[in-house]
Amino acid sequence: MGQEVDRPTGWRFPARTTIYFLVVATISMGALAFVGLGEIRDINQDNTEIRVDRAARSATALYLAFHDGFEVETNREGSPHTVTINSGSHLIPDPHLDELLDTIAGVNQGAANVFRFNHETNTFDRISTTFRTPEGERVGGTTVEPVLIAEGHPAFETVTKGQPYVGEVPVAGRSRYAYLTPIVESDGRLVGLLAVDVGWVDDLNRINSLAAKRALVSVTVLLTLMAVLGVVVMFLAFRPMHRLIRSVHDLGSEQGPASVRLTSRRDEIGYLAVGLSKVADLQRDLEYRAYNDGLTDIPNRAGFVRELDRRFEDLRAQADPQPAFALLIIDLDGFKEVNDGLGHQAGDELLASLSASLHSDLEPGEFLARLGGDEFALLTAPGHTDSQSATDVADRVTRAISAQHETSAGEMNVTASIGATLVPDQSATPELALNHADLALYSVKATSPGRFQLYQTAFTSPSQRRVHIATELRRALDNGGLRLEYQPLFGADDGVLRGVEALARWTHKTEGPIPPMEFVPVAESTGLIHDLGFCVLELACDQISAWSKEGLQPPVVSINVSPIQLRHPDFVSVLEDCLRRHRIPHNSVCLELTENARMAHEDGRHIDLLNQLVALGVTLSIDDFGTGYSSLSYLHNLPVHEVKIDRMFIAGATHDARQAKLYTGVVTLAASLGLDVVTEGIETSEELGLAVTSGSGLLQGFYLGRPVAPDAVAACFGMPAPNWLAEYAKQRP
């Protein structure tokens, strides 16, 4: 599970979201304020220019009204360009002129000045103004104030060219926004200026600054209100979402949410809540399916392992032995015969009835699970740890299983073998508990099926290994854990691949590859050889079919068959059904029968069975010929097609003349009986030469080709062996 984190209070997400919103809002409002203030400044500038233009117009109009004979020249927009007078001599200090400027200033609400151009000094002298001293006296006192506008003045260069100037001009260390109209004589000679203004420039800037400050304060107050209201509103708006977040968090926990609220809402929150409720229901359903068996409606292997691990955690957490318990593994006897004889439906009904009986007999604290197939497990209540308590539980289980069970095929009776171990006295870990219970189970199945066996330390290591192999092999067969490799057989006349032998391979998930010489004898001794043999047959036929579908021409596939398999009453019918289902030619399969004493002693029974197989169309071969107990007369009577001569005959024959004669004699004898001869176990070039020159028909061994995967052997179809020596074929008899 992931690391647990503190559950949030519900304010973090609204606060964080509000911060994001405020950042965006601040940037947006700042941009708007910047643009707005720029617009305000532009508007103020435009208003100032309009005011000063109107002031200039009104000033010239009033000036003309008081002086006859003066003319005003305007530009295209109607703004004054120059004032024309008949003589510059009229520009002298005069009280009437002061009154006129006062009138102009009163109308324009700004200052007014008249300047006379001094051609000698090339400067402008003021002859009249509306500016006043602090005492209220007119500045200059109706006298000439020399050199007030000279070179370097912002307006000087413009007005001396006879052009009006509009802009800032310095006055007493400050700036005023003014309109200066040149006064010229009729011949265009500059003689003076009429200047009007609309106020101090810094007053206008102060207005802009004040507007900016007010905008900043307004934005700050607005953002603060938005932040407070945003957090509160978003908290209230996201409060249902916070509840859903808790439900989602609980959904990922081991317990899961008890319920998902807000499903009654008719908005997006309600729609999302309904979806989460469906997910929670699906999770509960999937969890139930993951830990419970669909057929018997009791816990499955995963649920059992979880409960077993939990009990061991309780054991580790408590010092007293009160949580100790016993583990029983229950395996039904003869259940496969029920499935084979009455069908899988009857078998499923029997399992369901058995589990219901066992579950109804459980005492408080006991735990029942189906491990798979016909295998069950039972954990006793904590505190029942002695052998007598385990025996009492096993007796109760035996009575429940041995009772009559109703199925669609009628009433059935079965028995069960039970293996048990005491925890923690005999098993200190979950793995050991399962292993020891399995050891006890397979011990009782091997000696006295249908009874109860408690694990004993007296079980020897080889015995434990066999029981362990049997347990794991059974699980591998149930879970498809076996595969086939194929070892090629080559023709002795040309070295071309003529057949392959299917060999079972088992790779354990923890132990790695387990050799057939270890698991096949265990399968024979525990009765698993039937399941193993049918599994190999199914895999081989399926592979032949797959090769054919790929457009290949598969050779004859040899399949090893144990004599124990031949005693199965349905062996022939199962083989025929397998060939039919996979739609493969019957002669594409060769059954290799191991020669042993039992075949010799039961020759009549086996000959009938072999005749049925021959009638079916499959090829029969005697494997490991010469190592068993058959006589020549017995071999003569068997309806077989070929014999495989064991390696013991050819090993050493290349260095021992008597051994070579013995091998050659066996080959000649088999050939004289009309049997095809296969020499297996060829590991050197000398052995290959001896086998070829002695008349053997097919050759097999590591020198020619090792067992490989289906794709690898398919690449060799119709190809000669890599180590084939053609010169030997020329010496064949």
DSSP 483-547: EEEEEEEEETTT-BEEEEEEEEEEEETTTEEE-HHHHHHHHHHHTTHHHHHHHHHHHHHHHHHHH
Q: CATH 3.30.450.20: does it fit domain 51-207?
A: yes
Residue 358 three-state SS: helix
State the pTM of this model: 0.47
Task: Specify the pLDDT at position 601.
Answer: 46
Backbone dihedral angles phi then psi of residue 369, each to the nearest 5 degrees: -145, 155
Strand pairing class (415-423; 410-412): unpaired
The backbone region for 200, taken as left when phi is positive above 0, alpha when psi lies in -120 to 50, beta otherwise, is beta
Asked if pLDDT for residue 681 goes beyond 90, the answer is yes
CATH topology of domain 296-459: Alpha-Beta Plaits (3.30.70)
Q: Which segment of 135-149, 293-307, 387-401 scores lowest on mean pLDDT? A: 135-149
Q: What is the mean pLDDT of residues 413-422?
A: 89
The neighbour count for residue 655, using CB atoms within 10 Å, is 9
Q: What angle do CA 405, 407, 411 make, to 5 degrees?
A: 50
Asked if pLDDT for residue 598 goes beyond 60, the answer is no
Task: Specify the pLDDT at position 596.
Answer: 59
Q: Which segment of 167-171, 232-236, 540-544 scores lowest on mean pLDDT? A: 232-236
Strand pairing class (698-699; 482-491): antiparallel
pLDDT band at 466 (very low <50, low <70, confident <90, very high): confident
Contact of 639 with 614, CB cutoff 8 Å: yes
Asked if pLDDT for residue 2 goes beyond 70, the answer is no
> Which DSSP symbol is given to 414?
-
DSSP β-bridge partners for residue 179? 166, 196
**Mean pLDDT in the chain?**
82
Burial class (CB in 10 A: 0-12, 13-18, 19+), 481: middle
CA 74/CA 186 separation, integer angstroms: 15
Q: CATH 3.40.50.11890: does it fit domain 486-504+530-720?
A: no
Domain ranges (residues) in the chain: 12-43+210-242, 51-207, 259-289, 296-459, 486-504+530-720
CA 156/CA 180 separation, integer angstroms: 10
Contact of 495 with 724, CB cutoff 8 Å: yes
Task: Specify the pLDDT at position 603.
Answer: 57
Asked if pLDDT for residue 694 goes beyond 60, the answer is yes
Contact of 150 with 230, CB cutoff 8 Å: no
